[in-house]
Structures are given as structure tokens and as C-alpha cells.
Structure 1
């Protein structure tokens, strides 16, 4: 097998990962308390500063509540954490969690068309603001138009990259993620940007497992080209419709696979 870079982690990172895994698996349920810093340090064979740093990270991730002079309490991550924990929820001990995967797919299907719609609308607005002569527009508008052209060119190039990788489902999935990365840039929404970043981080470890189902979608070069054209032409309705048509078949199939049949 090809050599892989060795990932160096701090002791506190290892402590964080171990406790986070127990919280997310339910082994440490909400409302339970952790041992003291001293007890954790002794049990884990690490220093108290390492434990303290790990607990601060856990608190920052919304997994525990640390109170000075009081016990550290486990929180319900469903109400206190953000999307950054998705990668840990999606794959546990090397196994895909169906319910989490289904949730990600549902968000993908419903947010993708809206992102495409916003991208088309905002690229179209940039072009309308300066007309055919960016040089005659105010500097800020002209700069926005130049940036808009750069984003549009990136979307078109990314669609061609998906087409070029169509025969390799894993490479094509990566190219498709890059395509959507450019579309999210065009949508100019910080919330969608943060969502996409975390959803991508959760999705990428499962590329090989998803390849058989995703091959039809990422192998549909013409659909990506058509969507790129609608976005860069500034046609929001067409962009949203094409995005849904592109995403829906594989998403529906995967959700059906991941949803257990109801017992009679």
C-alpha cells in the first residue's frame, strides 16, 4: 500500500478524542459527570494540564460543561454542539451510521438547489450592476464584476473537471465536491459556506463506500455543464431546477437504502 503521512497529535488531542467518542456514543450520557482532573490524569496516564486542555476543547465543542470548583457535566450534544461534530457522528469505529448519513443527504438535497439559485442570482446581479463595460462602473462595482467573472470561470472549469473524472467514481466525487465549493462561493452566504465545509468533512471519508450509488450522478457530465451554464448565466430558477434534478436520484436511492423498512 502507498505510504501515508504520519499524523502527530498532542496528548490533549488524544484525551479529547477518547472522551468525545464516549460522549457521542452515549457511553457517557447527558447529565453524567466526569471524574476530576486529577482522577482523569491518573486513569489516562497523562498530565493534568493535558486533561485541562482537552476539557476546554470538549466544552468549546458543546460536549461538556466545565465549572470551576465543580464537576464537569456531560451535555446533550444534539442541543449544544455544532456541525463540527458531524464527521465523528457519521463514522464510528469504521462503520457508517445510517441515521446520520440520511440526515446529511436530506440537507444536501434541500440546500443544493437553494445554493445554486442564490449563486445564479448573485452572479447575475454582479453583471447587471456594471452592464457590458466594467471599466465605466465605479471601482467597487468593477472589482465585484471581475471577481464574479473569476467565480464563474471557476464553476465552468470545475464542471469540466467532473466530466474529465467521470470514469473514476471516487475522483469524480472529489471533483463534484470542488464544483459545489465554487457554487457555494458564488452564493456568497456565510451560513451555507460553513455548512458546506462541515458536510464535506463528514462526507469525504465515505467516498469509497458511496461510489457505487454516486457513480451515475458524478458521471453525468452534461448535467454539471448545464448547471454551470445556468448559474453563470444568472438564471436562478433554471439553476435550482437543474440542481434538484442532478441531486435527487442518488439522494433518494441512498435514503431508501439507509432507511429501515417499517415492520408491519
Structure 2
């Protein structure tokens, strides 16, 4: 592992960032021992408290296993980590997009979005319908500004996820949103067909108003398919260019 001394300010956070970057990049194989706390304090030029705090955060994230009296060992994050890791996996340490991770995120989005709409149609409160209508109106008034449409679209899905009243989907949406927002600027052009499809959003809102779960699911699936197809094609082009 190649570790660098860190500044004393936010020492535990800096230690955490270095260690998680190494673990995600494969600097340690699952089951392999991390350096001892003393070795980490010396190589990173921090105190033992900062190292211990960072290791605890890694354990909470499902990246390492801490057993007192034994070395701290790396875990296979594919088996033990949660969705919060997606953003870190999307780009490697050199800033290159991981195409497989991006494709996986796109597939997950296409899979859970329609079911969020289905549940929302079953559980949406009547007082939420005007909120959806105002969001769609705001998109109609965006004048084709894709960046503005992308921001409003996140609001649409945020409220739709609230209406679905499913905590697992809410947490998944939070993770997907945090992953998406840093690269929203690069994706708006790719997702233009989805972002400008107001008819599909109006169909979702109408289905919510009618408590028609099947129609809501179908409209959401149709809407998300537009963006998924465009992203998949863009990723395929990137993949072809790397060969």
C-alpha cells in the first residue's frame, strides 16, 4: 500500500479517504491484513486515535473486519458494503469512469424506478398530486434548458419516492442521487430524450391521481427506458474507444 503523510487537520477523515481509496482500488485483497495501527500512524504521520477512528468508519462501511487481538482484514466490498460505495466505485483513482459500474447503476435505476411509481400510485396522498403537477408545469416552462430540466427531474423523482413510502427505495434513491449529481452536467445531453418527455410524466401523475398502479409503472418504465438506452449507447461508445 502506498500511503502519504496527512495534515493534522481532519486527520481521521484524511486517513479514511486514503485507506478507502486503496481498498476500493484493490490495493488489498479480501482477507489480507492491513498494516498494524503503529505502522499506519508512522506512515501517515497521525496519532493512533485518528487511525482507530478511520478504521472504525471502514468497518461500519463494510470494508474491513476488526477483531481485537488480531490484524484488521480487508473484506470483499461486493459482499459486505452498501450502496453508499457506488459513488467511489464510479471513477478510479485517476478519474476514469468505470463503465461496468455506470452500466450497473443505469440498470438499477431502470429496475426500481417503475416499481417506485407503482407503489406511489397505491400510496400517494391526495395533497401530493398538486405538487407533482407543479413540478411538471415547471419542466414545461423550462424552455428546453436541459440543466434546469435535470434539476427539476430530480425533484420529481424525489417526491415520487416519498409518495411510494418505502424506506428501502428511499435510501437507494438517496445513494443514486448522490452518485448522479456530480456528473449531472455530462449526462444532461445524453438524457435529453428522457428529460424532455413531459407526456410520460403527465401520464405518471394521471395514474397517481387515479390510483392506477399498472399505468404508473408502465409510464415510468417507458420514461426511464429513454434515458437508459441513451446512456447504454454512450457507454458502449466509450468502451469501444478504449479498446
Please, what TM-score do these two structures have when normalized by structure 1?
A: 0.82
8 Å CA contact retained: 2:191, 2:226: no
The alignment yields a C-alpha RMSD, in angstroms, of 1.6
Instruction: Answer with 229-238 or 52-61: which moved more.
Output: 229-238
How many Å separate the matches in 2 of 1:37 and 1:249?
Answer: 50
Q: Deviations over 1:176-195 (max 9, x none)?
A: 11101111111111111111
Unaligned regions of 5+ residues in structure 2, if any?
1-8
Number of residue-to-residue matches in the alignment: 229
1:197 is aligned to 174
Q: Say which structure, 1 or 2, has more relative contact order (CA 8 Å, 6+ apart).
A: 1
2:133 is aligned to 156
The offset of 1:247, in angstroms, is 0.8
- Structure 1 runs (4+) deviating above 3 angstroms are none
The reply to whether residue 121 of structure 1 matches residue 147 of structure 2 is no
Please, what TM-score do these two structures have when normalized by structure 2?
A: 0.88
Q: Deviations over 1:185-226 (max 9, x none)?
A: 111111111111111111111111112211221122232222
Q: Which has the larger radius of gyration?
A: 1
Q: Deviations over 1:75-122 (max 9, x none)?
A: 000000000111111133433211111111101111111111110112
How many Å separate the matches in 2 of 1:49 and 1:153?
Answer: 52
Q: Deviations over 1:7-58 (max 9, x none)?
A: xx72111111111011111122212211111110110111110000000000
Q: What secondary structure, in the 3-state scheme, does the structure 1 residue paired with 2:190 have? A: helix
Q: What secondary structure, in the 3-state scheme, does the structure 2 residue paired with 1:212 have? A: coil
1:55 is aligned to 55
Give the one of 185, 189, 197 matched to 1:220: 197
Give the one of 201, 208, 218 matched to 1:231: 208
1:241 is aligned to 218
1:139 is aligned to none
